[in-house]
Amino acid sequence: MSDFIQYFFNGLVVGCIFAIAAVGISLLYSVLRLVNFAAGDFLTLGAFITYFLSVTLELNFLLSVVVSMIAGMAISWFLELVLWRNLRRNKAGTLALFLVATGVALMLRPIIQFIFGTETRKFNIDILKTYDFLGARIPQTQLLVLIFASASILTIALFIAKARIGKDMRAYANNPGLASVSGINVDRVVLATWLISGALGSLAGVFQGLVQGQFNNAMGESLLLSFFAAVVLGTIGDAYGALAGGLLLGLIMELSQLSIFFGGVPSNYKPVVAFATLVLVLLFKPEGIFGYRARKV
């Protein structure tokens, strides 16, 4: 029982981080048809900027996180202005966009390495304090990450559901042709999408860095495939689906380590579990868990 609680808790924490990263990827895909292969590196970047501000410059931690989110938005918007906008204007297809995103990822990695080095870093946060809950060991940082990450997820979900710009984003994603002739300001939708995904990338990076305890410049890219699995699991381009897919995938990956599953899947096989889950779901529901098809008329 305590094992179950332990893995369930870990799964929630991991799942929340997946969800936050996945929803950014999903929004970018649904609005811009961009498969953002650089998403992982934005996590790394967010963690390093926060590290630089809070540890090197000794600024307040929360303030550092906020600044790193703003930096994530700024870099995303900069790339939109110099790169993505022009590619779309030249009618670049999804595959071309995907390849350029891969190029961006390959460029970001050495840049991050050049600026921040290859050493393993740690936030200046007490990661040793733990609570005992029904026999499970709940580290304080993970508990805090869970609280803040759930609050973030709730905020994002409400924003997409209720805010006018959130509705505009969904409308544009659903029918871009109609959106641009029905009063929806497409430029604003694109801006909002980049800002949200930039901010969420940094935030997920900080959460991941906190949960791992220490991180290096390979942190984000190692998670990228799991994020994509979460996006596809929850139906490609469905923002709520990505949130749910992330949570579900985190839970499945952690719970697979319980001994009732083949004596417990070793933790380095977690990505295999992620993809096995994905394949299984796609076999039975090719459009993802939240997929729906509009009635043909």
Partner 1 sequence: MADNSSNKSLFTVSSLQGGYGDIQILNGVSIDVPEKNIVTIVGPNGAGKSTILKAVYGIAKVTSGSVTLHKDGKDIDVLATKPHNLSKIGVGYVPQIENVFPALSIEENLEVGYVDFANKSLDEVRDEIYQSYPDLKKRHRDRAGTLSGGQRQMLAMARALMSSPRILLLDEPSAGLAPALVDQLFDELVKINQTGVTILMVEQNARRALAISDYGYVLDMGRNRHEGVGSALVDDPEIVGIYLGKK
* Contacts to partner 1 by CB under 8 A: 164, 167-168, 170-171, 173-175, 177-186, 292-295, 297
- Cβ at position 105, least distance to partner 1 in Å: 30
- Cβ at position 291, least distance to partner 1 in Å: 11
- Cβ at position 72, least distance to partner 1 in Å: 27
Give the Cα separation of 218 and 209 in Å (integer): 11
Give the dihedral sign, CA 234/236/237/242: positive
Give the Cα separation of 230 and 26 in Å (integer): 9
Nearer to partner 1, 171 or 276 (CB): 171
Nearer to partner 1, 95 or 297 (CB): 297
- Cβ at position 274, least distance to partner 1 in Å: 26
Nearer to partner 1, 221 or 238 (CB): 238
Give the Cα separation of 6 and 24 in Å (integer): 28
Residues 253 and 14 sit within 8 Å (Cβ to Cβ): yes
Structure tokens belonging to residue 187: 């430029």
Give the Cα separation of 238 and 2 in Å (integer): 35
Nearer to partner 1, 180 or 267 (CB): 180
Nearer to partner 1, 284 or 292 (CB): 292
Nearer to partner 1, 183 or 263 (CB): 183
Nearer to partner 1, 16 or 184 (CB): 184
β-sheet bridge partners, residue 215: 121
Alpha helices in 33-93 (DSSP H): 39-51, 61-79, 85-89
Give the Cα separation of 189 and 185 in Å (integer): 7
Residues 279 and 48 sit within 8 Å (Cβ to Cβ): no
What stretches of 140-232 adopt beta strand conformation (E)? none
- Cβ at position 184, least distance to partner 1 in Å: 6
- Cβ at position 294, least distance to partner 1 in Å: 3
**118 residue type, one letter:** T
Give the Cα separation of 207 and 119 in Å (integer): 19
- Cβ at position 176, least distance to partner 1 in Å: 10
3-state SS assignment for residue 44: helix
